[in-house]
Structure 1
Amino acid sequence: MTGLGLTDAAQEARLLSRIIETISTGLDLDAIVRAVAALIIETTATDVCFVHVLDDTGRRLHLRGATPPFDALAGHIELAVGEGVAGWVAAHGEPVVIVDNKLADHRYKYIPALRGEDFTSLASVPVTTPTGHLVGVLNVHSRRRREFTDVDVRLLGTVAGLMAGAIENARLHQRLAEREEALERFAERVVQSQEAERRRLAGDIHDGISQRIVSLSFHLSAAADALPYAPVYAAGQIARAQRLAEAALDETRFAIAGLRPPVLDDLGLTASLESLAGSLPHVEVHVEASPCRLPEHVETAVYRIAQEALQNVVKHAGARTATVRLEVEPGGVVLTVSDDGRGFDPAEVAERAAPTYGLAGMRERAELLGGALTLRSGPGAGTTLRLDVPLRLDVPPPAVGGG
């Protein structure tokens, strides 16, 4: 049998019209791919259709839609670009037709789940946008031997072009929805973090600073009352009031430092990390960082995570040396804290002792910045913690120094 039977212009127009109608009904990518695949085999009298979609990395194709009985495999089959016929089409941007004897073609890869032995002929075309951007690959298969003509391949290419626009629109819509959901989660975490910070600060003021100020007031009142007739007693009360005032001042500074360490404003992030490293007992800490100034909220988070990580080194690692490395790269800042300690099983810590190591708090800080925290360790292999934080490239960080 030759051809797809679509040389009739009216029949071809009806197919394209139905596909346009299908892809215009919504933005659900999976539903669009399934519906178009079904239309293709119905109209072209082929037996099965596979739609492979290129992932965001541009390196792998994922089976996103298929006609029965392979529809359940959507999301479970993937190929590297260049792998198999679909991968070859993606890599070269050219259609492929195999009439028979697929196994003799070096581009063909047998995938048991797709039962290639049941099908004799295939045609594969790239799914590209009008601007030439590759979105995926469209394959049709026939059980009986079939000569796919140039007209057939052209029609499949036209269908693939329509699908490309629909896939791009659906993916953009999905990314926008994911971005909005992420922003909602981010806003919720920010509010929760702010409320927790307010409660902490209120507790510090109520339990410490305000109590000391009340006591300070009592001692000053007692001194004022006793001053005319008991100056020695009054002097003692004033001395106690001075100590309370100093303690209240220290607690005030501590509460403020809980919001943003003053050392960051005084020294900058790099020098603050060096100062932090020098204050740790029993561990020799090396800091490798070039002077830089980042947005204040980024500096605070980086410093706090480094502080918590180094405290873990002191408390749990049994390390002799540790290294803090801060690198500002195009598109982001990377902090790594590594040690030569005893190491541990990260999975066990995640299950049993995450609060002890403060990992949840560090990850929360990283996520609030849109970043990621990763941990690499093993028994006897030391530990490396890595923080990746994205930065906007259009607003470079201010330079250190000034005039």
Structure 2
Amino acid sequence: RHCFVVDGQDRIQPHRSKLALITHLPLQRSGGGVYAVSWQIARQLQRHFSVQVPAPLTTPIDRAARLLSRIRRRVLRLPGSFFAFSPRVLRQVAGLVSASMPADSQAAFFRSSTRWVGWRPDRPYFVHTDACFHTFFHNTFQPREFLRSDLQRIWQAEAGFLDRAEAVFFESAWGLEKARQAYALSGRNFMVARVAGGIEPPPADLRTPDGRFRLITMAKHFQQKGGDLVGVAFKLLKPAWPQLTWHILGGPPPVDISSLPDVHYEGFLRPDLPDELQKMRTLLSTADLLVHPTREDTNPLVLPEAASFGCPCVSMRAFAIPELVADGETGLLIDPPGDALAVADAIRSCLENPQRTALMRANARSRSLRYFSWDAVGDHMADVINQRLQ
């Protein structure tokens, strides 16, 4: 018996079609953006279909391939293989998918794509992803460190997997176009589903001016998302703007930042715990500016999430971020690669122009509520899935 489980509740509803949701992650709100997206996507599918969720399919480790790759890269200084998706791993994952697929499911719905490419379809399937492996790889790694033939093996397998799907839902037009170009696909079955914030927005903008100007950063990985740049910018601005404060959510900053006056490290706040969710909502409601000068990203949920509370942002003109932030209207974008001075200039601009900042605040909330809704994402995906399964 397969069922949809969320928030500890077993929910089974009769719907027109039965979908098997295949994921490698537990369905929980906490853990970072990828967890929040998986949880929200599952909830949206459940609104429209009878969703069957096998246990999360943990990707096995190919220890032999890992050892050989590390010897080549670290000892011999030669390119290694991408062992996380070795042929053996992909075969094993394909076997797990086939063994766990409910026999009566009419279609499969995959969260992400690369790890599933070895599966041989025996029914229609759909894919939801932020970016293809080619995009992820070039965001994260140096190509010279890996065997070109091994990367091409994975890219070719993923291209076929995406091309055979009934539909592939990308979180952004940026991710869609990157995949289409990298894999030389027509993209006939590609479409943009968008995203939204991970927590429900308040009924109104609750910010009450109190003489403080509160910065907020939200990131699992402080350095990766540019927290160090925010730290330098904060030090530069604080003497001239003593009302400046900074609340850090997520991964811990170094001591030289957390020990600064008016810097508050809030830790990891888990939205599936009521007290921590309320604290997160309070921090977002009182924040004046989200600062997210990220170095590595795809489609950061923190941007529409903060915007839905009325909090504009400073971020990068990179990845899918320009689809989430209207530069000069709902936030300010910095040209990559960016540096601490550029971050400081953007924050200073908001401090020096309170009327423009207030307008950006109103625009950010209005645009987020209008364009970034999980219900709209779910309705769009359901329409496409129903059409394909007719």
Q: Same fold (TM over 0.5)?
A: no
Q: Please identify which structure carries the higher helix content.
A: 1
Q: Between the two structures, name the one with larger relative contact order (CA 8 Å, sep ≥ 6).
A: 2
Please classify the TM superposition score into its range, dividing by the shorter chain length: under 0.3
Instruction: Give the alignment's TM-score, normalised by structure 1.
Output: 0.19
TM-score computed with the length of structure 2 as normaliser: 0.20
Point out the structure with max Rg over C-alpha.
Answer: 1
